[in-house]
Structure 1
């Protein structure tokens, strides 16, 4: 404790050294003291106040709470610190995290100060495998023929606080890069997947630009049809128990389907969602998307969706259990009925039961889950799904799945997923082979 406090004081003095020199505020610090200049600078910067406003009491032991207050005040001067000083202050902030959290509003205000820039990111190493098979359209899936079992993705994020209500975010991603036989990446496709400005008050939010993750149905739904890059303008009105979201945008990622390339890329949608929140963390919502085709690289002859409506419920049982239920109905555009159904719409049912909670900041935390999917032919529109499953095999199936997530170190997660009892629903389509996935994710 003593060494950490001394390191804290050293860091604070280093930041305070850029402050203007002022008169001595403490009667017990003589002008010939070795610490006189630093003490005066720290006091003038507002980092220390002393005792009773008159005494420094340099020999007194300080508490962890007092040390945390000093760290919080040093954080307010991060813009004047060097890179090394910022690293030390961040390390001290991690050491006194509990005490800083107890400071409440004061710490939040420091985090939201103008000019604050935060850099984050993540890296994923993934293995996916499925025994090869050929579907009714002659398209081959799975196997190791194309050496795509292993891939990686790296993402970097920079978030700047423009003022107390507005932030700007820029993110770069490699997308998923497959490894070749020689261990090299098959291609390099670094692109901006997050470019947006957000304006937020307690009851209103406005977001303009590109987001790296838009899930049809919102962040609490399963994200069966789409969960990827999206250019949009979105606003939200919210209260303690509800939120109303509306927006308009264009999908930026698609997926290949039976000779149809990038089916969803360039498709536009207007959307709206109403959600309700409950005291135990449970939530429920209904949502609607209206699709239109035009622009981008989309081929108008292939996109078959007209509109979509859905509902979800995420229910917590005690502190360990969560049940997610999600229903969606996709209206099929005239002239785009599928081979196996002439209905005007297709239905999707998803259920997932989870026990535990894997928290990236809590080493040794974990969860285990099981899910069931019932997807009618035509419900999947060719998007980049947020599911762990292969995106081109989300249609005309029933399937079970199970998985485990384990945080083996802070900001480091290992996950395993497996499908089973997968069957085709309609027509003469053969049953797809089962899928296996394992991955490491590191956040920084």
Structure 2
């Protein structure tokens, strides 16, 4: 702790220094001390305050929150720091990310890291199993993603990222078949204005999720322009964009037609694609129980789908529009989520009977696994009840196979454990899965386990 704090002080001395002749505010720092000049400069810059306003107590061990306060104050002076100092402050900000977030400093957004370019990324090794499916031949796969975050000025940030496909360890494809393995999954510019309450984001995002909740429907690459207003109590979002299948190697959501009915499970290129479908969308959210930082929220959202050419018929999406609502409560170590979505399918869809479909989702979690905190963990249980036609398409944000997201009732359990800093193990299992309507065989249960590493 002492080494890190001394490094923080060294980095912030030049950042916060304003006057070499400022008065000494601490009675226990004599003028002939080796630290006198640095302590006075830091106090004058407002980075340190001492104890009771008059004692520095240089030999006392400080808490992580006190260290985070100093880092936060140093971040506010990033425009005056050298490249080396910015790098050190960024490293310390990552170290104290949880404490800074609790203090209201949005470390993840990097608003004040002007002139800084930061590389981040993650790697995942995954095992998926479901009896009687094609995935059993290739149960192990991996994926690697890299992001570059550039803070252009105090209002503008540019983010660019690339990702590999989910590549199977058993894949023996020739090199000519792997030309689309690496693709751009995020390329956007964010501009903050209006006291940072407003944000305009233009470009590609890596995981557009319908609604800020479970992510039952599409959760993949999305090209859009989006305007968002957010404060500690309220958020409003409006946007327009186009869904993009990352490289064509994705699960899709539509069953084959047989005399106008949806039967069996889908596979391969015979299925309808969501790639290229456009949507206008909006969302309203309210934060309560201590504001946005507390994690409790309620929201409603809407999407209006349109395929290229102006109609939703033919080989494109079945859904015409979708609306949903969610409620999330954070009570100590417990988090409860309830999510509802309603889909209206167009007249040319393959959905039988009623052209509307609903999905109800509930999830209860205990604890919180955090990549920055070794030995942190959580456990959860979830419930899904989805009518035929409720799943719109594309890769969902769920851990389940997309081929079994529609016309089902199912339970799931899982746990996440951070076994080392920036390294997490996750395991999931479904149970009690049944087909809701029709005579199709009940889907087999799913098992998933994965290691995720971030850097």
Q: Normalising by structure 1, what TM-score? A: 0.77
User: Quick check: 1:119 aligned with 2:148?
Assistant: no
> Is the CA contact (8 Å cut-off) linking 1:348 and 1:376 kept in structure 2?
yes
Residue of structure 1 aligned with 2:166, choices 176, 180, 183: 176
Which residue pairs with 1:311 in the alignment?
Answer: 325
Q: Distance in 1 between the 2:440 and 2:106 partners?
A: 61
Q: Distance in 1 between the 2:144 and 2:227 partners?
A: 29
Q: Distance in 2 between the 1:86 and 1:235 partners?
A: 30
User: Quick check: 1:402 aligned with 2:413?
Assistant: yes
Q: Distance in 1 between the 2:237 and 2:223 partners?
A: 16
SS in 1 for 2:397: coil
Which residue pairs with 2:279 in the alignment?
Answer: 269
> Is the CA contact (8 Å cut-off) linking 2:223 and 2:242 kept in structure 1?
yes
Q: Distance in 2 between the 1:412 and 1:244 partners?
A: 34
> Is the CA contact (8 Å cut-off) linking 2:205 and 2:223 kept in structure 1?
yes
Q: Distance in 2 between the 1:74 and 1:393 partners?
A: 50
- Deviations 1:62-121 (Å, cap 9, x if unpaired)? 9869998987787756997567x7665655566777998899879999961431222211
Alignment of 1:269-418 (within 5 A): 269-280=279-290, 281-294=295-308, 300-316=314-330, 318-338=331-351, 341-418=352-429
Residue of structure 1 aligned with 2:251, choices 248, 251, 255: 255
Residue of structure 1 aligned with 2:228, choices 224, 227, 236: 236
Q: Distance in 1 between the 2:2 and 2:231 partners?
A: 45
User: Quick check: 1:431 aligned with 2:442?
Assistant: yes
> Is the CA contact (8 Å cut-off) linking 1:266 and 1:295 kept in structure 2?
no
Higher radius of gyration, 1 or 2: 1
> Is the CA contact (8 Å cut-off) linking 1:273 and 1:286 kept in structure 2?
yes
Q: Distance in 2 between the 1:417 and 1:303 partners?
A: 29
Change (3 A) 1:25 1:307: closer
- Deviations 1:335-387 (Å, cap 9, x if unpaired)? 2132xx22121111111111111122222111111111111111112211001
User: Quick check: 1:129 aligned with 2:129?
Assistant: yes
Change (3 A) 1:106 1:226: closer
1:162 is displaced (CA, Å) by 2.1
Q: Where do 5+ consecutive residues of structure 2 fail to align?
A: 24-29, 50-57, 253-265
Two-structure CA RMSD over aligned residues (Å): 4.4
SS in 2 for 1:360: coil
Change (3 A) 1:417 1:101: closer
Q: Distance in 2 between the 1:127 and 1:50 partners?
A: 49
- Deviations 1:44-65 (Å, cap 9, x if unpaired)? xx999999xxxxxxxx879869
> Is the CA contact (8 Å cut-off) linking 1:79 and 1:115 kept in structure 2?
no
Which residue pairs with 2:185 in the alignment?
Answer: 193
Q: Distance in 2 between the 1:178 and 1:159 partners?
A: 29
Moved more, 62-71 or 413-422: 62-71
Which residue pairs with 1:138 in the alignment?
Answer: none
User: Quick check: 1:443 aligned with 2:454?
Assistant: yes
Which residue pairs with 1:54 in the alignment?
Answer: none
Residue of structure 2 aligned with 1:143, choices 132, 136, 146: 136
SS in 1 for 2:403: helix
SS in 2 for 1:143: helix
Q: Distance in 2 between the 1:195 and 1:255 partners?
A: 23
Q: Aligned residues, how many?
A: 414
Change (3 A) 1:50 1:68: closer
1:3 is displaced (CA, Å) by 5.8
Change (3 A) 1:79 1:432: farther
SS in 1 for 2:136: coil
> Is the CA contact (8 Å cut-off) linking 2:78 and 2:112 kept in structure 1?
no
Q: Distance in 2 between the 1:321 and 1:251 partners?
A: 34
Q: Distance in 2 between the 1:100 and 1:321 partners?
A: 22
